[in-house]
Amino acid sequence: MTDQALSDINPLDPNILACPHAFNQRLREEAPVYLCPQTGVYFVSDYPTVVEIAKNEKLFSNEFSMIQAGEAPPRDLEMEAILKKGYRRVDTMLTADPPRQRRYRALCQKPFSASSVAKLRPYIENLANELIDDIIDDGKCNWMDAFAVPMPVRMIAYILGVPLSDMALFKEWSDANVYSFSAGQTREGALNAARLVVDFQHYFADKIESRKHQPTDDVLSDIVNSSADGEQPMDIEECLSVISQLLVAGNETTTSTFAEGMHLLATHPEQVKLVQDDPSLIPNMVEEMLRLSTPTAQMWRICKEDTQVGGVLIPAGATMMIKFGSANRDANQFSEPDSFDVTRDNLKTQIAFGQGVHHCLGAPLARQELIVGFEVILKRLTNFRLPEGEETLNFLPSLLLHPPADLNLIFDAR
């Protein structure tokens, strides 16, 4: 890639999406605001400009659902038949702008407040210990299957108040909801994802109706029956949209950080010693893991009016991609940005959860889950290493996310 001109590289190529760091560095150094001739998209890669755009919802819109869907494909009767069985998709938190977006945030804010999330600590700690109990005597595991996937899936199932017996469905539904972000989609894959999304919709539509008539003490009831400043409660389609976003945010992104974070520990034993000698460093370590992993690697924006960004004229209606993962490795913001340093002192500025009005609603929950989870991991396990020949962590290509493919792990009981 170093021998190619930027104009010859497609930033949305699956190989670039799976391993973006070298390309992102070239963008930051050569063209922090870059109009790609192959895609017509403006890519924004340096820290200050990404933050500037993320904080300016008046100029840069999040109403990108039509872009994410892509150009209208030829009519597919089988797909239409599947979708007719489900509910209409609506734009809520992620793909809406204020003031409409603000309404959804207000209606969903309470269960994800710091005080509400703090009450979940005992459950998170017990769940982490239960998962470690299952593997500690073996000294090795597939970390994705053993911890990185079930920890967030069980957490989101718990806070939504649905039976643990349905947990396997949650991962399938989460994967189906993010399929549209994946590179290299197939028709059969799209049909299967649509079927699963419809199954998800009907499952939660029943739960929503039940909670309307008999509220229980869970986040799902809070969402279904919420009110704020005289706002009308959400209808069933709005509730389904919000729940699907919580499902994805609660599973995919936290899973990615648990996986990449553990890979960082396995490849940096000196950092493991630091946090095991001083567990008070764990919250800072989690922020450093979030900075390096940035599970939501990039996000669409639409420019609302002609404007200058980083000395580049962006026309009204232009499609933009702001690259959070690139900004979090900007050497002008973070010294030695590719290194893993649990003592790094400016991690309050990392932007893995975004910025501005679209800052991740579930950030307090994700942080609590990661901090408590790694407290348990580092208290009970040590000497993390990787099987021979599996030292490199590989990633799946995704337009917006950066999900690890798999991770096998060897360890000792502490």
Domain CATH code at residue 317: 1.10.630.10
| In a domain? residue 55 | yes
| In a domain? residue 285 | yes
Q: For the residues 18-44, what does the mean pLDDT come to?
A: 97
**Contact criterion met (CB below 8 Å) for 321 and 44:** yes
**Contact criterion met (CB below 8 Å) for 141 and 409:** yes
Place of tokens 């210990």: 129
| In a domain? residue 1 | no
| In a domain? residue 63 | yes
Q: Which pTM was predicted?
A: 0.94
**Whose CA is closest to 219, among 283, 155, 290?**
155
**pLDDT score, position 228:** 59
Distance in angstroms (rounded) separating the CA atoms of residues 11 and 323? 11
Split into its structural domains, the chain has a count of: 1
**Contact criterion met (CB below 8 Å) for 309 and 53:** yes
Q: Where residue 295 falls among pLDDT bands split at 50, 70, 90? A: very high
Distance in angstroms (rounded) separating the CA atoms of residues 64 and 319? 9
Place of tokens 């000395």: 311
Place of tokens 């990404």: 50
**C-alpha distances in angstroms, 404 versus 342, 351, 356?**
21, 19, 27
Condensed to tens digits (0 to 9), the pLDDT of residues 149-167 reads 999 999 988 888 888 888 8
Condensed to tens digits (0 to 9), the pLDDT of residues 304-351 reads 999 999 999 999 999 999 999 999 999 999 999 999 999 999 999 999
| Sheet strand arrangement including 42-44 | 33-35, 42-44, 319-322, 299-303, 60-61
Domain of residue 246: give its range.
Answer: 6-413
- Residues contacting 199, CB < 8 A, separation 6+: 169, 173
